[in-house]
Structure 1
Amino acid sequence: MTDTSRELGVGQVGYAFMGAAHSQAWRTAPSFFDLPLAPRLRALCGRDAAAAQAVADRFGWESVESDWRALITRDDIDLIDICTPGSTHVEIAVAALRAGKHVLCEKPLANTVEEAELMAEAAAEAATRGVYAMVGFTYRRTPALSFARQLVADGRLGTIRHVRAQYLQDWLTDADAPLSWRLDKTLAGSGALGDIGAHLVDAAQFLTGSAISSVSGVLQTFVDSRPVAGDHGTLGGSGSADVERGPVTVDDAAAFTARFDNGALGVFEATRFATGRKNAMRLEISGSDGALAFDFEEMNLLHFYDATEPAETAGFRRIVVTEPTHPYAGAWWPAGHGLGYEHGFTHQVVDLVNAIAAGEQPTPSFADGLSVQRVLAAVEASAMDESRHQKVPHDAGTAEGPHAGRQGGAS
């Protein structure tokens, strides 16, 4: 059972989408896992005190603050959980660590490499005082991906040669969907690249145990302005001239190739314009002795191919990752009773609390987050350098491309 005699006071900054996911995790973790420290939901912080209070009442937070600085000064708070836009991460995290508070920070770690470096330096210094920081790449804690990491680490795939990674969403396909902070570079840092591409980068480096050493990428913004506020349908209709629109200053989609320091080749795609795809985070890794494939839309499944088996029986094996011996799964339901999106956040709390109690650095660390940030920055720099894009010549006189005019059997 969780040791309720030893408490970990938690103060959380942010109460919206991620704030709700984290709140649920802090509340749920000690009910299903034996923890060495009992999380206490001391205070929830948000600039809109009334909205923060409503969320606090729903999840059981003991109090509400409207300024994150108040959390740092409170003696009953041991850890600051940051669930705010990337532009705020560096100031909150560095101040919290210097004040002796443990920190959990949502991904991506920061909006720039320089900010991430400051955070990693503050975390390294704090660790010498027994104060720890972790970045929230929760997909690592999906049982199927944690199990996949075990298979790779055990050598079941042999030499890793290929990494294929996609994160496909479609929530921006409507050109008149409203503008939000995620589409503002000053707040979000980047678009699909940082929001969901960061997950791919972390997962790929985590699964392979290898760092990305070089990249070549392209970024694309398909819709460069959106309605500023409210339901666009109430502002005059799609395309109406009286709809106030604001600029989209981030990418809608990102694609890049990568080389890993173990010699593997990677192909990555992150987009919020994949019509019909809601949250398809897909990873496939090919090695000399096997392969594995995962899609978060079927998050309880892992497909594994053992190339050492005889050819007549070899094939991708469908593994339902819900057995008691699978990572995290034994604390929940009987085998076959699947987990969901929110469970990764609970597992994050479990690993963080265990590491803090043991006096060990939790992972992924801020140094890991900095590594991801450097990859994102390299992709962005590559995409901005048009000289790296080799033009493809087409036949003269074929304005529509090399196959123009080849219709109806024309030769």
Structure 2
Amino acid sequence: MARREETRTEQEAGAPSTLGVGMVGYSFMGAAHSQGWRTAGRVFDLPVRPVMAAVCGRDPQAVRAAADRHGWAAAETDWREVIARDDVQIVDICTPGDSHAEIAIAALEAGKHVLCEKPLANSVAEAEAMAEAAERARARGQVAMVGFNYRRVPAIAYARRMIEEGRLGALRHVRVTYLQDWLVDPDFPLTWRLEREHAGSGALGDLGAHIVDLAQYLAGEPLAGVSGLTETFVRSRPLLTEASAGLSGSGRAAERGEVTVDDAALFTGRLVSGALASFEATRTAAGRKNALSIELNGERGSLAFNLERLNELSFHDHTEPAVTAGFRRILVTEPEHPYLEAWWPPGHALGYEHTFVHQARDLIHTIANGTDPSPSFADGLQVQRVLAAVEESAEKNAVYTPVLPVLPVRP
């Protein structure tokens, strides 16, 4: 009650000012972003208060229901109307990748700040156009940020701090995997995430974008080159119908459509410092629900993180005597850890949804302070270039597949 009374007093005094948010898209990511916008100002002391002005979707009834469920003041069915609204200063894009460039560029040209979900676009050309529009807008004081929400996990942010402090020394290896299993069933329906014209790529863009960004973010340096392989294991799936839409992987539609994206991607890389990196992204790893893990090895120690235990880090200090050295668990819940000064007492864990609260918090501070956004559209473009290089490498590697000799069958 004390916090609500304080907020009311500030509003009556004319401070803090507000920033209206207009969100385009309301499904999975829209719900997550809504949680962030709804909660950030209630937990953190923000210099400017975000207001959930309008949400947009094509289905009038569905978007109205989403607005009521998540706390948006208005519902629109045309994203252009969201951009045109005087009460919207931030446009939050949660749509499939094929619409990111058009919406983001239009919003920036209209003088709005922009938050855009990852991957930034479906192609390098689109991402370049978005980055150029963001650079022009930055000169006018606007901010354009990419939604790589895993940067906002307190344990990841603290790992970045430890690496910057030199706790690992010179980096030698980075290993990253992101494993899910929701496409193991060959009769899971053909959704937009399985169509190149909408998603751009499959596991590579959906999951690979996250792990490329995390590797570069934690290492503090970009990838200089990659070599990759991709594969599509299930090449056709049931067309999404009203009957199959409500099913989680068990639609048995008679008609099937072609899957035009990858199911899995494996690639290696080299960071500009010479450190080696390996990546694995798949949505067909049976039993793995959202298993993102990263390990970084340096000359002085190692750090490891697993999203399924997202309040923890594993740290090995190689400068300690071997008789007592080993990986130790760091529980990242102390108020001195990133973002946690506003949350619960030590030991009270946070979850996935909190990353979107932290993302909203960071964007509001960036806008209010006039600082450069992180991750910026330029960062998103760098990730897009890596993803494109992996695809190019995979295509070339597929051409040079060796023909193995046929061995005689033993009786």
Report TM bin, short chain. over 0.9
Alignment map for 1:143-158 (pairs within 5 Å): 143-158=154-169
Q: 1:69: Cα distance to partner? A: 0.3
Are residues 234 and 388 of structure 1, via their aligned partners in 2, closer, same or farther at CA, if it must alter by over 3 Å? closer
Matched, 1:397 2:407: yes
Residue of 183, 193, 208 corresponding to 2:219 = 208
Are residues 293 and 238 of structure 1, via their aligned partners in 2, closer, same or farther at CA, if it must alter by over 3 Å? closer
Tell me the alpha carbon deviations over residues 94-153 of structure 1, each in whole angstroms, 9 at most, x when there is no partner.
Answer: 000000000000000000000000000000000000011000000001001000001111
**Aligned partner letter, 1:116:** A
Partner of 1:116: 127
Partner of 1:366: 377
Instruction: Give me the whole-angstrom Cα distance separating, in 1, the residues matched to 2:200 and 2:109.
Output: 24
Residue of 195, 199, 203 corresponding to 1:184 = 195
Q: 1:58: Cα distance to partner? A: 1.2
Alignment map for 1:77-92 (pairs within 5 Å): 77-92=88-103
Instruction: Give me the whole-angstrom Cα distance separating, in 1, the residues matched to 2:43 and 2:122.
Output: 35
Q: 1:387: Cα distance to partner? A: 6.8
- Report % sequence identity: 61
Cα pair 1:94 1:119 within 8 Å, conserved: yes
Partner of 1:346: 357
Partner of 2:45: 34
Instruction: Give me the whole-angstrom Cα distance separating, in 2, the residues matched to 1:25 and 1:233.
Output: 27
Residue of 127, 137, 146 corresponding to 2:138 = 127
Q: 1:249: Cα distance to partner? A: 0.4
Instruction: Give me the whole-angstrom Cα distance separating, in 2, the residues matched to 1:398 and 1:193.
Output: 38
Instruction: Give me the whole-angstrom Cα distance separating, in 2, the residues matched to 1:165 and 1:195.
Output: 15
Decide which moves more: 223-232 or 332-341. 223-232
Alignment map for 1:298-377 (pairs within 5 Å): 298-377=309-388
Partner of 1:96: 107
Q: Specify the SS of the correspondent of 2:176.
A: strand
Partner of 1:219: 230
Tell me the alpha carbon deviations over residues 271-299 of structure 1, each in whole angstroms, 9 at most, x when there is no partner.
Answer: 00010000000000000000011110111
* TM-score for the superposition, normalised by structure 1: 0.93
Cα pair 1:219 1:255 within 8 Å, conserved: yes
Instruction: Give me the whole-angstrom Cα distance separating, in 2, the residues matched to 1:192 and 1:114.
Output: 20
Partner of 2:3: none
Instruction: Give me the whole-angstrom Cα distance separating, in 2, the residues matched to 1:160 and 1:320.
Output: 23
Residue of 212, 236, 244 corresponding to 2:255 = 244
Partner of 1:25: 36
Are residues 95 and 223 of structure 1, via their aligned partners in 2, closer, same or farther at CA, if it must alter by over 3 Å? same
How large is the RMSD of aligned CA atoms in angstroms?
2.0
Instruction: Give me the whole-angstrom Cα distance separating, in 1, the residues matched to 2:28 and 2:327.
Output: 36
Cα pair 2:185 2:250 within 8 Å, conserved: no
- Aligned pair count reads 398
Instruction: Give me the whole-angstrom Cα distance separating, in 1, the residues matched to 2:403 and 2:63.
Output: 54
Decide which moves more: 315-324 or 382-391. 382-391
Partner of 1:264: 275
Tell me the alpha carbon deviations over residues 330-374 of structure 1, each in whole angstroms, 9 at most, x when there is no partner.
Answer: 211111111111000000000000010001111000000000000
**Aligned partner letter, 2:287:** G
**Aligned partner letter, 2:99:** T
Cα pair 2:189 2:251 within 8 Å, conserved: no
Q: Specify the SS of the correspondent of 2:155.
A: helix
Instruction: Give me the whole-angstrom Cα distance separating, in 2, the residues matched to 1:339 and 1:265.
Output: 32
Instruction: Give me the whole-angstrom Cα distance separating, in 1, the residues matched to 2:264 and 2:224.
Output: 22
Q: Specify the SS of the correspondent of 1:379.
A: helix
Instruction: Give me the whole-angstrom Cα distance separating, in 1, the residues matched to 2:261 and 2:310.
Output: 29
Instruction: Give me the whole-angstrom Cα distance separating, in 2, the residues matched to 1:298 and 1:137.
Output: 19
Are residues 276 and 345 of structure 1, via their aligned partners in 2, closer, same or farther at CA, if it must alter by over 3 Å? same
Instruction: Give me the whole-angstrom Cα distance separating, in 2, the residues matched to 1:316 and 1:392.
Output: 44
Cα pair 1:132 1:362 within 8 Å, conserved: yes
**Aligned partner letter, 1:338:** A
Instruction: Give me the whole-angstrom Cα distance separating, in 2, the residues matched to 1:185 and 1:75.
Output: 35
Instruction: Give me the whole-angstrom Cα distance separating, in 2, the residues matched to 1:111 and 1:238.
Output: 29
Residue of 155, 174, 179 corresponding to 1:163 = 174
Q: Specify the SS of the correspondent of 1:385.
A: helix
Instruction: Give me the whole-angstrom Cα distance separating, in 1, the residues matched to 2:238 and 2:332.
Output: 43
Q: Specify the SS of the correspondent of 1:206.
A: helix
Q: Which structure 2 segments of 5+ residues have no match? A: 1-5
Q: 1:388: Cα distance to partner? A: 7.3
Q: Specify the SS of the correspondent of 1:383.
A: helix
Q: 1:397: Cα distance to partner? A: 2.4
Instruction: Give me the whole-angstrom Cα distance separating, in 2, the residues matched to 1:88 and 1:239.
Output: 27
Partner of 1:65: 76
Instruction: Give me the whole-angstrom Cα distance separating, in 1, the residues matched to 2:392 and 2:325.
Output: 43
Residue of 63, 68, 75 corresponding to 1:52 = 63
Are residues 286 and 234 of structure 1, via their aligned partners in 2, closer, same or farther at CA, if it must alter by over 3 Å? closer
**Aligned partner letter, 2:352:** Y
**Aligned partner letter, 1:161:** R
Instruction: Give me the whole-angstrom Cα distance separating, in 1, the residues matched to 2:398 and 2:90.
Output: 47
Q: 1:74: Cα distance to partner? A: 1.2
Matched, 1:195 2:195: no
